[in-house]
Structure 1
């Protein structure tokens, strides 16, 4: 029932790219151009300025994006409400999750949700916490799951699941690191951390700062963009890494890594749903309720 042209317009506007919109919507680039041309013809105005190899929204485009987002949201609510009359959950739910959650928490939840609600078209993007918050703000996703501790005033955060960060080393590390070290001894060892903008790094920085430790005074040879990258690096180096306990539980069990206790410091955090301010309704509310029940099995 929705005007697909508005969906095309929003994709182009969010990416500022006809090519990326084509990839996101799985239609050809000429088809993308045709839909935009039809909208421009209907409204008798240009929606985008062509600047060589790039594009930008015109004033008309800026106006349309605001109303198009509101219309698409209303279409989603309408589709959800009408099908709910028959006991069906139908519609599109666009999720985003920070890397750790997307890799180690969500997959079993998504599998079960799709099994129970096969008529829901579900999609998931991953990125660091800042990227997921921005995707919510720009309406590219309906609901996010993040792991950070800092909050934006224009977003709503709903607690979901507790997590803990631990320090690991490979089992056969040549550093002969004791199983327990003081935080002041940490600067003796190379330490691999997540990149700026990740919720994981936010938690580490806060915990260290509370103990008077600054990252710039530690041996951090590099920052990596995912937990899996850190794990693989640690497997092939004599360094320490700090990751979610959920990411290495099985690795520790089989002896690939061992946990190194850092005395007198705790790095606990809470995974949270993130959405735009206001009441959460429709499929996002259904998913939050389902995931909150399913987490007992994690």
Structure 2
């Protein structure tokens, strides 16, 4: 770190003004002159040449100025390198997080990548299960933070909203259902492929059917698939209609591989929520990740 007289000299040399240097350093002009004079006595040579109302660096002053700039640069580089070493050798912090399938596959990957770039001394384990199993993992202390679909009535869990997504009815291209608009009662005669019990996507569908006084058991469900990707792969080769998160089929709908089938008066929206055990909400690294994720998606909204 440069001495105070050298810092004062640098300010004068950069501004070529004792008055401006004193204003920038919040000290009197006489104090600036005193520090410069002390350096001139130390080096036994003049550092500034007075030319009327202005000043110029002498050859000795210019040499000192150049060397001090190099010293400042080395000081900054050393500080940066020491900070990086401190971070590199800091004990890694391991976050245990769980999320439902849609969140794990389509929502969290870019967030986790950005978060770990910002916190290189942290590690993260992500469990990918359906919403019911993520809630169970939280209650069993397998994870400390979860993200699931909907709200389950569990008294010792707190919920923090993350984002909203649609569930859409889709079929493969060239399916007879393509470009059709259905009524809700048409679902009673349409072969369906659905997610497994415990899936948040399935829960949203059941709730919507209940509003129309239709039970899931009344529908012609040909297959239940455990996982979004498995269901997508089945739809690609079959004539069934499937209900899938929009987040999961954005690319397929854009490319024309899948077609969205409209169903009148049948909105399917779901909320993704963070879940934490009550009393753990202020656990610093998890609170940090929660807030980071909310900011990430609020900026993209």
TM category, shorter: 0.5 to 0.7
* Per-residue deviation, 1:121: 1.5
**Any conservation in 2 of the 1:149–1:202 contact (CA below 8 Å)?**
no
CA distance in 1, matches of 2:134, 2:228: 17
Summarize deviations over 1:55-87 as a string: whole Å, max 9, x none. xxxxxxxxxxxxxxxxxxxxxxxxxxxxxxx99
Aligned length: 212
Unaligned runs of 5+ in 2: 1-85
CA distance in 2, matches of 1:247, 1:176: 20
The reply on whether 1:140 has 2:142 as its aligned counterpart is yes
Partner of 1:81: none
Partner of 1:104: 106
Cα 1:251–1:167 shift into 2, 3 Å: same
1:30-109 mapped onto 2 (5 Å cutoff): 91-109=93-111
Partner of 2:10: none
The reply on whether 1:241 has 2:242 as its aligned counterpart is yes
The reply on whether 1:262 has 2:266 as its aligned counterpart is no
The reply on whether 1:169 has 2:171 as its aligned counterpart is yes
**Any conservation in 2 of the 1:193–1:224 contact (CA below 8 Å)?**
yes
Partner of 2:118: 116
TM-score computed with the length of structure 1 as normaliser: 0.68
* Per-residue deviation, 1:149: 3.6
One of 125, 128, 131 as aligned partner of 1:126: 128
CA distance in 2, matches of 1:130, 1:290: 25
CA distance in 2, matches of 1:287, 1:231: 30
One of 125, 148, 162 as aligned partner of 1:160: 162
* Per-residue deviation, 1:200: 1.1
SS of 1:139's partner is coil
Unaligned runs of 5+ in 1: 1-85
CA distance in 2, matches of 1:150, 1:170: 33
Summarize deviations over 1:195-218 as a string: whole Å, max 9, x none. 101111111101110111111111
* Per-residue deviation, 1:148: 3.0
Cα 1:286–1:215 shift into 2, 3 Å: same
Q: Name the larger-Rg structure.
A: 2
Summarize deviations over 1:177-225 as a string: whole Å, max 9, x none. 5521100111221111111011111111011101111111111012111
Cα 1:204–1:89 shift into 2, 3 Å: farther
Partner of 1:17: none
**Any conservation in 2 of the 1:89–1:117 contact (CA below 8 Å)?**
no
Summarize deviations over 1:62-117 as a string: whole Å, max 9, x none. xxxxxxxxxxxxxxxxxxxxxxxx99895211110011100010000001001110
SS of 2:221's partner is coil
CA distance in 2, matches of 1:111, 1:177: 37
TM-score computed with the length of structure 2 as normaliser: 0.67
Cα 1:111–1:214 shift into 2, 3 Å: same
**Any conservation in 2 of the 1:109–1:294 contact (CA below 8 Å)?**
yes
SS of 1:102's partner is helix
CA distance in 2, matches of 1:123, 1:177: 40
**Any conservation in 2 of the 1:149–1:269 contact (CA below 8 Å)?**
no
CA distance in 2, matches of 1:180, 1:142: 43
